[in-house]
Structure 1
Amino acid sequence: MPLKFIRRFTKSILLIPTVLVALLFVLACLASELNPTGWWFMGALSLLLPYLIIVLVFAFIFWLITKPKASLIPLLALLIGWRQIKVVFSYHIFSSFVIENKAPETIRLVSWNVASMYGISEQKSNKKYDRKEIAATIQGLNPDIICLQEFNHSETQGPYADNIGLFSEAYPYHYFSKDVNRKNGFYQSGSIIFSKYPIIHTQKIKYPKGISESFIYADILHGMDTIRIINVHLQSYKFSSQDYQDIQSIKRQTDSTLQASYSILRKMQLAYSRRAVQAGMIRRTADSTKIPSIICGDFNDVPASYAYFKIRGPHRYDAFLKKSWGVGRTYYAIAPTLRIDYILPEDRFEVGQFDLIDENLSDHLLLVADLHLKPGANR
C-alpha cells in the first residue's frame, strides 16, 4: 500500500513540470506570430524551442509507458507546435553534397558571414592569411553566385586589403553595399554579391533608425532568365566580449548574474524589435517583383522566430530543410542549436543539393546550395 501511494505521488509530482514545459513550449511557438516590437520576450523564448521539443518527446514516451492518459499533454503540445517543429529539425539523413554533381542550368550559390574576412584567429600574424583561405574555400566550391555578409575591403591600402580583388578574376561582376565607408575608401564594410553572370540592376535599401547597415539585391542574367538575389544581414545582438563573459557568469550563477542579465536582455530587446522592422522591409521588397528571387544571408535569428517566418512567407523553400538533417547549427557562440543563416529560394526553384561547411575560418558556417529554376518559371 505505501509503495503504491509513493508511485502515485511521484507521478503526480512529475506531472506538474510536464504541464509547465508544455505551456512554455506553446508560448514559445507564438513567437513566430507575434511582432517582437511589442512582444520581444517571446523572441527570447523561441531560442528554447529545440530543448523544449526534446523534453516533450521524452515526456511523451515516459507517460505513454507509465500513465497513457497523461501522455496526451506533451502530445497535444507537440501537435500545436508542429509548424515550428518542422522548421527546427530536418530529417534528410542520407542527403549529401558532391561538388562535381552540378546539374546543367543549375545555379550554385554560396552565402557566408565571413567575419570581416580576417577569420577568427586572435593572432594578428595569422589574420592576413585568413582572407586568402576564405576566398580559396569559397572558390573551391565553384559557385556561380557568392553572397557575403560582414565583408570588408579597402580601395587605398593596397593588395593586402583588396578583398574584392581576391574574387574579381573569376567573378567579374559584383555589387557592394559599402555600409561603412571611411576616409574615402580606406576602409569599407557591408554585404556583397559576386557573380559569374552579368548583373543588370542593383539596389541598396538602408535600414531605418540611424542604422548603418542595409540589405542589397542584384538582378542577374542567367542564360535567358533574370534572377533576383537578395543578400541580407539583420540586426545582431551586438554582444561585446564582456557580454559573452556575462553569459558565462549567468550560467555559473555568480554574484553579477542580475546585472549581467539586465544588460543582455536590454540588447536582446532592441535587436528583436529592429529585426521585426527589417524583416518587413525585406519581405515587401521580395514581394514587389515578379522576377524569381532567392533570399540569403545572416538573419541573426532562429527558424521559429518572427523574422524567419516573415521573410520566408508562404512561397519559399528553406534549402536546409529540403536537403539536410539535424538542427543545422550555423553559428558557434552561445548555444549549440543556433541556425541563423539561410538560403530561401522561391518555390519556382528546385533545390538540388545543400550543405553546411565548417572550415573554422569564421564564427559562422558557410552555406552552399544548387538551385534550378523550374521551366517557365520566369515567364
Structure 2
Amino acid sequence: MLLNAYVPPKVFPWFNLLSLAFPGLIIGHFLLSLFWVFSWKKRAIIFLVWSLAFVHPIKRWVNFSSESKEIPDLKIISLNVKGGGLGLKNIEEYINSKNADIVFLQEDADKEIEFNNLQKSKNVSIVSLYSKYNVINKKVLISGNYEDFNSYADLNDIEIKGNIYRFINVYLQPFKFEKQMVKLDGNSDEDKEKLKNVVKKLIPTFKIHQEQVEIIRKAIDESPYPIILAGDFNAVPNSYEYYHLGKDLNDAFVEAGSGSSTSFHDYKFPLRIDYIFASDLVRPISYQVDRTVEISDHFPVIATFSIKK
C-alpha cells in the first residue's frame, strides 16, 4: 500500500486494491503482533518495529487531535448529496444551519438547491460550488459525458479578503456497485464469483482514475494561488489517488481531525472517500465528519481553516 505513492495503477493495479482492505489488514497485523508478544517469540520485535511504518497511514483513517480554540477565517463543507434522493429540503436546512463560507457538492444531478447567503457556481454537471465570496475565474477540468465515463471536476478561483484561492471540486469515476454485488452470502461458489466481478470493476476504474488524477494534478501544479481541494475521490486513504492528489497539500483530517474519518456509510465496511486538502497557507483548525445526520449515503465533511495573510 505504501507503494501506491510510486506505482501507478496502469503499471500494477493490485497495490491499489490492497488499499481498500487496509483496515482489515492492519487489524490482522496488530493481532498477529500481540500473538507473538504473548508467545514470547523474537519475531514479535520485527512485527512491532514494522508497525511504526503504519503510524501515518493509520492516521488517515483514525486520528486524535487536540481541540483548537483559534477563531477560523474560513469554513468549508463538502457533501456528496446522492442526487438529493433523501430530500433536497433536508440538505438545504442542514447546510443553512452550518453557516459555511464555501460548500462543495457532488452528485447534485443538476437539482435546484439553494442556500442562504451563498452564490452558486456551476460549470459542469454533478459538481457545484457555493460561495459567500466572489468567483473571479472558473474552468471545467473533467466533464463526463458518456456511459462509461462519469467523473467530473472543476475549479473556481475565489477572492477572499484581498487574496485569491483556487478551489477544486472533485468527483472521480465511481465504481457503480450495488449492495447486492458486494454482499457475500456464505455460498462459496457464488461468493467467489462476486469477488471476481468486484475485481473486474475495480481494476479498470483504478486505471481511469490515474488519467483523471493527472488532469487535476496539472491544475494544482500550475496554480498561481493556494489550493483547497475537496470532494468525493471514490478512493480510500493510502491509495494512488490519495497520494497523488494530496501531494504537497495537507489532509485536513490528519492535521486537525479526531476519531474515525469514515464518510461513506452505505456499507458496513469503513470507507473514507471524501476529503478536504489545502495548501500550507490555508491551515486546518478543525475537521469533522458529521454522523448526526443522514441526508445522503455520505456524511457531510466540515473543516475550518486559518488563512495566513
Q: TM-score, normalised by structure 1?
A: 0.75
| Of 143, 167, 170, the match for 2:117 | 170
* Residue number in structure 2 paired with 1:245: 180
C-alpha distance in 2, partners of 1:305/1:283?
Answer: 15
Per-residue deviation, 1:278:
1.1
Please report how far the alpha carbon of residue 47 of structure 1 lies from its aligned counterpart in structure 2 after TM superposition: 1.4
Distance 1:370 1:199 in 2: 20
Matched with 1:153 is: 110
The within-5 A match list for 1:56-71 is: 56-71=29-44
In structure 2, what residue type is equivalent to 1:320?
F
- 1:177-216 counterparts in 2 under 5 A? 177-179=123-125, 190-206=126-142, 211-216=149-154
2:79 to 112, 118, 130: 112
Separation in 2 of the partners of 1:270 and 1:31? 16
Is 1:278 aligned with 2:278? no
Deviations 1:324-353 (A, max 9, x none): 223311001334321110000111121122
- How many angstroms does 1:362 deviate by? 0.5
In the alignment, the residues of structure 1 paired with residue 56 and residue 236 of structure 2 have an alpha-carbon distance, to the nearest angstrom, of 14
1:132 corresponds to which residue? 89
2: distance between equivalents of 1:49 and 1:153?
35
Do the aligned partners of residues 209 and 83 (structure 1) sit closer, same or farther apart at CA in structure 2, a change above 3 Å counting?
Answer: farther
SS at match of 2:17: helix
RMSD: 2.2
For residues 309 and 342 of structure 1, what CA distance do their matches in structure 2 show? 12
Name 1:23's counterpart in structure 2: none
How many equivalent pairs are there? 306
1:343 alignment partner, one of 276, 283, 290: 276
Q: CA deviation at 1:29?
A: 3.1
- C-alpha change, 1:209 and 1:221, in structure 2 (3 Å) is closer
Q: Which has the higher contact order (CA 8 A, sep 6+)?
A: 2
Aligned residue in 2 for 1:361: 295
TM-score normalised per structure 2? 0.91
Unaligned stretches of 5+ residues in structure 2: none
Match for 1:270: what amino acid?
A: P
Q: Does structure 1 residue 44 correspond to structure 2 residue 17?
A: yes
Alpha-carbon distance in structure 1 between the residues aligned to 2:261 and 2:59? 13
Measured in 2, the distance between the counterparts of 1:209 and 1:30 equals 32
The equivalent residue for 2:100 is 143
Q: Describe the SS at the equivalent of 2:11.
A: helix
**Deviation, structure 1 residue 372:** 1.5
- Over the matched positions of the two proteins, sequence identity in percent amounts to 26
Change in Cα spacing, 1:208 to 1:35, as seen in structure 2 (3 Å) is farther
The 8 Å contact of residues 151 and 174 in structure 2, kept in 1 or not, is answered as no
Deviation of 1:303 (Å)? 0.8
State the one-letter code of the partner of 1:204.
Answer: V
Counterpart AA for 2:156: A
Letter paired with 1:350? R
C-alpha contact (below 8 Å) 1:297/1:341 kept by paired residues? yes
- Distance in 2 (CA, whole Å) between partners of 1:251 and 1:229 is 43
Supply the distance in 1 between the matched residues of 2:254 and 2:17 (Cα, whole angstroms).
23
Q: State whether residues 124 and 140 of structure 2, in contact with CA within 8 Å, keep that contact through their aligned partners in structure 1.
A: no
Structure 1 unmatched runs, 5+: 1-27, 120-129, 155-161, 180-189
1:232 maps to 2:170: yes
Q: Does 1:84 align with 2:57?
A: yes
**Pair 1:74 & 2:47 matched:** yes
CA distance in 2, matches of 1:83, 1:325: 14
Are residues 297 and 60 of structure 1, via their aligned partners in 2, closer, same or farther at CA, if it must alter by over 3 Å? same
**Kept after mapping to 1: 8 A contact 2:60/2:253:** no
